[in-house]
Structure 1
């Protein structure tokens, strides 16, 4: 209890239940029973808020833990993403979700098509992707951006908004101009670990929805800044997004989020600082950063 007699606010589920460290065998047992399959537990892919398993019928099961604060009426992203045409998403087969009152979370398991292509993973590995991958990538991003939806994107588990973007930028660059003029549909967690190669599949759809134009491209561009030539390649392929007024704001947003807390021990700190400064100078001169 706090000194005023109120209950301390509960930590987000991802901090209370890091699935890389806690035992959730009872959850896995329940999923196996509900989906009538066996999961290859010894080969689980563990992340902070999800676990992935190959099944005995050569499908893939992803188990997610979600705090009750994230029950926003938008449903579960992967199931909802089945409406997206022209985007390489693993086919969704079935899902189960339930409330866990003891831990104050919701559990969700989705069974999907098994994708044999490995995640690209580290940004340095993206430099070896063939031209055909980039063609598939551009086609998918264009199709996704045009898809209609009432969902709102939740990058880093938080709803995106003009206020959120402006607050993050103002914390580091208080005098920066940051127009947000266009909104499109976005994956909202687009990084090299969530895409496969050399054939493109896009994974982990829990956060997708409407977002300022260029959010996805800016996220990928930002995560590529430490690899020589890679951010420039992302920019070349997604130039209409990233050089739009809103896209420039999203690039500055991604840089500001890191620069607010990092120092030069962080590999992205120096390239993000240079990129942000170039964008701010270009905004003054009217040139292209």
Structure 2
């Protein structure tokens, strides 16, 4: 019998041979097993034609109006530095309400800067920051009907209000400006020394400043890096909606699932308290 709710699994621990075989047959490629990268909900590998294939498992309840085609639809974005998209395939799991999808793209121009959250300064050059700003500026100027899905959940006004309200009281959480966002901008999804932004599965409309606040939160264990993010993206983070996104990102760190040894707790709390004061006095 087909399950009604998908299992929450970690692809780093699950058998993946069947999925890899299916992708190879359909896309007519050979995946280099030595290059396989396994993450919680995705698998990636280099192919014998010098491309990259990313395979994702996502519950049908997490697809919604997006259709699960983030990487393919991002190909229409102009002025954004990202890998070229070449083709894809998708299939419905026979045992669970889950869709598997594989996208073939160009290889990255460099290595990811680090893990999603960094603990040391990556030493990025000014040219790297200029490229980041150019891409985020170009992205914000695009038009889309997609809704961003950070952490695979559609970002709505209700989600913003609930997430912030669970941690910070007395804040008007009404969002005024919604702009296209990558929605998963962390240090594992950008390359260096040459800048490139990849993994576009969750992109779509989001409150202004979501990407900047997400990268800032991923940098908090390195105060100088977090300060650099705020400086470079001050056009977003000093806006009212950008301040709300600082609280949104902080609430995820400081909320009920906070880890007591997370080095980001203290700096997140300090910035959040200042931001609450600014919003309440505006």
The TM tier, using the shorter chain, reads over 0.9
Higher RCO (C-alpha under 8 Å, 6+ residues apart)? 2
Q: Equivalent residue for 2:200?
A: 205
Superposition pairs for residues 134-283 of structure 1, below 5 Å?
A: 134-261=129-256, 262-283=258-279
- Give unpaired runs (5+ residues) of structure 2: none
Check conservation: 1:264, 1:270, Cα contact below 8 A.
no
- Structure 1 residue 62 and structure 2 residue 54: aligned? yes
Offset at residue 282 of structure 1 (A): 2.8
Q: Which of 21, 35, 45 lines up with 2:37 in the alignment?
A: 45
1:87 equivalent to 2:80? Answer yes
CA distance in 2, matches of 1:100, 1:187: 27
SS at match of 1:39: coil
- Answer with 1 or 2: which has the greater Rg: 1
Normalised by the size of structure 1, how large is the TM-score?
0.91
Aligned residues: 277
Measure the CA separation in 1 of the matches of 2:208 and 2:180: 8
After TM superposition, the score normalised by the length of structure 2 is 0.93
- Paired residue for 1:5? none
Gaps of 5+ in 1: 1-7
Structure 2 CA distance, aligned partners of 1:285 and 1:263?
Answer: 31
Query: Structure 1, residues 146-186: CA drift from partner, whole Å, max 9, x if none?
Result: 11011000111111011111111111112123341111100
- Give the Å deviation of 1:223: 1.4
| 2:95 alignment partner in structure 1 | 102
Cα deviation digits, residues 93-138 of structure 1 (max 9, x gap):
1111111121331111111101140000143455401110011011
